[in-house]
Amino acid sequence: MITDFIDDGKIERLLTESKNPSRQRVEELIEKAKKLQGLTPEETAVLLQTEDPELLAEIGRTARQIKRDIYGNRLVLFAPLYIANFCSNNCLYCGFRKDNKDLKRVALSLEQIASEVSVLEREGHKRLLMLCGEHPGRSSLDYFVEAIETAYSVKTEKGGEIRRINVEIAPLEVEEFRRLKAAKIGTYVLFQETYHHGTYGKMHPSGPKKDYVRRLTAMHRAQEGGIDDVGIGALFGLYDYKFEVLGLLFHALQLERDCGVGPHTISIPRLEPALNAPAAIKPPHPVSDEEFKKLVAVIRMAVPYTGMILSTRETAALRSEVFDLGISQISAGSRTNPGGYREDTSEGFRAAQFNLGDTRTLDEVILDISTHGHIPSFCTACYRLGRTGADFMDLAKPGLIQKFCRTNAILTYKEYLEDYASPEAKAVGYALIDRLLAETKSARQRDNLQKRLRKIEEGQRDLYV
Ligand code: SAM
Ligand code: SF4
């Protein structure tokens, strides 16, 4: 049976021993990272302890290069869908915590969930992250599975549909994970919040989430239950960010060792203000923008093949800076209050989990990222073709996945432009696709892509390779 595998003492020791690293050692590790084989925790600690501005600039350049080599300039887009905010936990940083008596509590009915999904489909979304608070009565697994089935069943005009639902809910047992798998979820996501045991204890004073090890081992149980795409994360601001990065890395390595495949994604949320949540109003270990950029770059170098997710917690300006450092998935047009997509948002804060840094619509985000040369992608092909878990990594590591991803990104972007984009986003998008076609070196690939794009213009949808 899997037990606690995070050794706080060891992480602290690695961070102490790597203080003030020599220029030569940092340069050696930068060279190693360029080979795309990842870094050990010892090596990662050295990069985290680097403070020299010149070396930090080189770390940034290396991370950008790795991002380009492995992921190209694609950014996969999704929307979070909060279905309920009842919670029996008391996480000191979260607006949904049990002791927040001012929160307007909501559990959406299946009709309301369908209505939220139809709003998202009409904006052009194809991928959801479904979440809720932890509450046995108001957020049971039965309810959650019905919510997934409902969301998949909603079809709107122009082929509007949800093609992949990732989920972020409290830890489950193996048999329960099997139920999620049968409901055709994509990735199971769960953040450890903080890997530091002492801080974890303080931040989770009551409720089932108090149990550090049950949460830490959830990904192992998910894998046992057949879910081979799992996403880990830490909530930055609760404890020293360097400790959390090493915690994430030890978690990834443990999964690789025990389950044969590491996490599909790493999320890097930073604490945002939230109603009646003391740790969010005054974060114990605030992470500056410069530190945040450094941690993104170091994670990119340490685990090059693991996708990295950035949410709308961050502002538009910072988001566009860190995309190039290694982000592969972003949320857009988000609301963190159940019912928030349908409803007028003026009252939303009273039901929201935390405040958002980026409140732009999906179309505004797409216009912005495409103007900067990123390819917006709604691709769901790998998951639907069974290219998940170890199979995905086998394709990703020799660079094969790039070939599929670029084509699928362009095809799903084209669908978006045809069906949902504003005139401004269309103009930028069509020009970007023309440029991407011209840059496609192989004549055969270019022809195939052109044929598929034409089929989309003629009305076909959901084409992928
Ligand atoms: N209730 C489940 C749980 O705690 O795992 C499901 C996910 S919870 C709705 C989503 C995540 O939001 C949490 O894991 C936490 O990391 C994050 N979160 C909570 N409060 C936050 C805040 N004030 N700022 C940023 N992220 C926050
Ligand atoms: Fe509940 Fe999750 Fe918020 Fe904690 S983070 S209070 S478990 S919703």
Same domain for 149 and 210, yes or no, is yes
Give domain status of residue 188, yes or no.
yes
Q: Check pLDDT > 60 for residue 272.
A: yes
Answer for the pair 242, 15: CB distance below 8 angstroms, yes or no.
yes
The residue among 394, 412, 444 that closes a domain is 394
Q: Per-residue pLDDT averaged across 28-52, rounded?
A: 98
Nearest ligand, measured from the Cα of 99? 2
Contacts of 184 (CB under 8 A, 6+ apart): 148, 152, 165
Same domain for 353 and 435, yes or no, is no
Same domain for 387 and 299, yes or no, is yes
Number of domains in the chain: 2
**Residue 434 confidence (pLDDT):** 97
**Residue 346 confidence (pLDDT):** 52
Pocket test for ligand 1, best of 168, 209, 215 (most atoms within 8 A of CB): 168
Confidence label for 43 from pLDDT (cuts 50, 70 and 90):
very high
Between 398 and 137, name the one with better pLDDT. Answer: 137
Give domain status of residue 355, yes or no.
yes
Q: What is the pLDDT of residues 44-101, one digit of tens each?
A: 999 999 999 999 999 999 999 999 999 899 999 999 999 999 999 999 999 999 999 9
Same domain for 238 and 377, yes or no, is yes
Pocket test for ligand 1, best of 129, 132, 191 (most atoms within 8 A of CB): 191
Same domain for 432 and 316, yes or no, is no
Q: Check pLDDT > 80 for residue 350.
A: no
Same domain for 380 and 404, yes or no, is no
Give domain status of residue 208, yes or no.
yes
Ligand 2 atom closest to the Cα of residue 87 is 1
The residue among 345, 360, 394 that closes a domain is 394
Determine the Cα angle at 224 with ends 221 and 229, to 5°. Answer: 85
Residue bearing tokens 């809910």 = 169
Confidence label for 349 from pLDDT (cuts 50, 70 and 90):
low
Same domain for 349 and 438, yes or no, is no
Q: Check pLDDT > 90 for residue 212.
A: yes
CA of 207 to the centre of ligand 2 (A): 10
Burial of 21 (0-12, 13-18, 19+ CB in 10 A): buried
Q: What is the pLDDT of residues 103-158, one digit of tens each?
A: 999 999 999 999 999 999 999 999 999 999 999 999 999 999 999 999 999 999 99
Give domain status of residue 112, yes or no.
yes
**Residue 348 confidence (pLDDT):** 57
**Residue 386 confidence (pLDDT):** 85
Give domain status of residue 56, yes or no.
no
Q: Per-residue pLDDT averaged across 358-384, rounded?
A: 93
Could you tell me if the CB of 131 is within 6 A of ligand 1? yes
CA of 232 to the centre of ligand 2 (A): 16
CA of 371 to the centre of ligand 1 (A): 31
The residue among 394, 421, 439 that closes a domain is 394
Q: Check pLDDT > 80 for residue 400.
A: no
What CATH number is attached to the domain comprising 91? 3.20.20.70
CA of 150 to the centre of ligand 1 (A): 24
Give domain status of residue 328, yes or no.
yes
Share of the chain above pLDDT 70, in %: 98
Confidence label for 347 from pLDDT (cuts 50, 70 and 90):
low
Q: Per-residue pLDDT averaged across 447-464, rounded?
A: 96
Q: What CA dihedral angle connects 418, 423, 427 and 430, to 10 degrees?
A: 0
Read off the tokens for 224: 């046992």
422: left (phi over 0), alpha (psi -120 to 50) or beta: beta
Indicate the average pLDDT of the chain: 94
Same domain for 381 and 257, yes or no, is yes
N residues, the chain: 465
CA of 352 to the centre of ligand 1 (A): 11
**Residue 383 confidence (pLDDT):** 83
Q: Check pLDDT > 80 for residue 345.
A: no
The DSSP secondary structure of 95-109, one letter per residue, reads TT-TT-TTS---B--
Distance CA(185)–CA(164), nearest Å, equals 7
Confidence label for 1 from pLDDT (cuts 50, 70 and 90):
confident
Pocket test for ligand 2, best of 83, 90, 97, 215 (most atoms within 8 A of CB): 97
Confidence label for 38 from pLDDT (cuts 50, 70 and 90):
very high
Between 342 and 247, name the one with better pLDDT. Answer: 247
Nearest ligand, measured from the Cα of 274? 1
| Domain assignment of residue 425, given as a range | 400-457
Q: State the first-to-last Cα distance of the chain, in angstroms, to the nearest integer.
A: 39
Q: Per-residue pLDDT averaged across 270-285, rounded?
A: 95
Could you tell me if the CB of 193 is within 6 A of ligand 1? yes
CA of 271 to the centre of ligand 1 (A): 9
Same domain for 338 and 315, yes or no, is yes
Same domain for 389 and 406, yes or no, is no
CA nearest ligand 1 atom 25, residue: 271
CA of 200 to the centre of ligand 1 (A): 14
Could you tell me if the CB of 171 is within 6 A of ligand 2? no
Could you tell me if the CB of 131 is within 6 A of ligand 2? no
Give domain status of residue 200, yes or no.
yes
Distance CA(340)–CA(347), nearest Å, equals 9
CA of 87 to the centre of ligand 1 (A): 11
What amino acid is encoded at 231 in this protein? G
Give domain status of residue 158, yes or no.
yes
- Collapse the DSSP code of 83 into the 3-class scheme (helix H, G, I; strand E, B; otherwise coil) and give the result: strand
Out of 144-158, 260-274, 314-328, 408-422, least confident range = 314-328
Same domain for 418 and 309, yes or no, is no
Among the listed residues 367, 336, 418, 346, the one whose alpha carbon sits nearest the alpha carbon of residue 116? 336
Among the listed residues 36, 61, 59, 37, the one whose alpha carbon sits nearest the alpha carbon of residue 48? 59
**What pTM was estimated for this model as a whole?**
0.96
Same domain for 174 and 123, yes or no, is yes
Could you tell me if the CB of 218 is within 6 A of ligand 1? no
